[in-house]
Structure 1
Amino acid sequence: MVPCTVQRGGGEPSRVLAKARALAAKGDYEAVWLVVDVDDHATLDTVLRQCDAGSETVVVSNPQFEVWLLWHFTESSAPHTAGSLRKELRRHGFVGACKHLPTDFPFGHVEDAVAIATSRSRSTDLNTRGPNPSSTMPHLVAALQGSADGI
């Protein structure tokens, strides 16, 4: 596994990009990845265009990152809302706003989540917004695992 540091970017994609660029400017990182949700963010498409033209790499989950977490438990190909994702994750031990992993989170099922994320013609291109549900998290997983081949 590649060592990494996780920094909160502020939720809204333009704030995440600003934080990523500030970190990259310090030169302490080999790579900087942005992880964002589609949600209802008005700046998402602008940020994706800026990153596609620049050197940033963006992982997008539609509608939210929580879909990636859900895929560690079960295949779910129906479109989701924030509410439906919370409801599904509560069935798997998440509480409240589902921002904290349960103690028994199945980290060992990451390859299952990767398979689900890359199946059924979901977009797997970085710096793009895929259909609901989708996530390009498999790219980040591959990078963290040190895979030269990616997904």
Structure 2
Amino acid sequence: MDPGSVCLVDVDTHTTLKSAIETAQREGIDLLVTRLKFETWLYWHVSESRAAHSTRQLDELMSKHKLLRDGKHLATHFPFASVDDAIRTARAADLSLGSCRCGPDPSSGMPVLVELMRGLTPRT
């Protein structure tokens, strides 16, 4: 089975998101959107909070919980084992979570990628 294509984007500075979603739908690409930015998904590995945060607040939370090193690299002690907790929080934050859509703030389509990697979501 062809694994297909997956594209991850943040909303924080994405000015052509609507066009990207339309292109992804047309081309059969799983476009996964995280709002406000990818750090939202990372934060959900250590918190169930579904409050919206600014970019600065998310950066501060990354520092507080020591989830990143050098700004953008996952820490060696990143809590990967908490991925199912992050999935539950993401699904609670966006009841319509799925590919090729922009959910509320905060939200993340990353559970779709995790399910694809686990072989739980059939490709169309």
- TM-score, structure 1 normalization: 0.74
Cα deviation, residue 82, structure 1: 1.2
Greater strand fraction, Structure 1 or Structure 2? 2
The CA distance in 1 between the partners of 2:3 and 2:95, in whole Å, is 28
1:95 CA displacement = 4.0
Q: 1:122 offset after TM fit, Å? A: 4.3
Structure 1 contact 123–134 (Cα < 8 Å) conserved? no
Q: CA RMSD in A?
A: 1.8
Partner Cα distance (1:88, 1:82) in 2:
10
Kept in 1: contact 2:94–2:103 (CA 8 A): no
2:61 is the counterpart of 1:88? yes
Residue 118 of structure 1 aligns to a residue whose secondary structure is helix
Aligned length: 121
Query: Rg: which structure is higher?
Result: 1
- Partners of 1:105 and 1:147 lie apart in 2 by 24
Deviations 1:25-68 (A, max 9, x none): xxxx6311001100121111110111122211111000001100
> Which runs of 5 or more residues in structure 1 are unaligned?
1-28
Find the partner of 2:51 among 71, 78, 82.
Answer: 78
The equivalent of 1:105 in structure 2 is 78
Deviations 1:4-39 (A, max 9, x none): xxxxxxxxxxxxxxxxxxxxxxxxx63110011001
CA distance in 2, matches of 1:57, 1:148: 12
Corresponding residue number in structure 1 for 2:37: 64
Corresponding position of 1:46: 19
Please say which of residues 44-53 and 104-113 is displaced more in the overlay: 44-53
Q: Which structure has the higher relative contact order (CA within 8 Å, separation 6+)? A: 2
- What are the ranges of 5 or more consecutive residues in structure 2 without an aligned counterpart? none
| Structure 2 residue 109 is matched with structure 1 residue 133 | no
Q: TM-score, normalised by structure 2?
A: 0.89
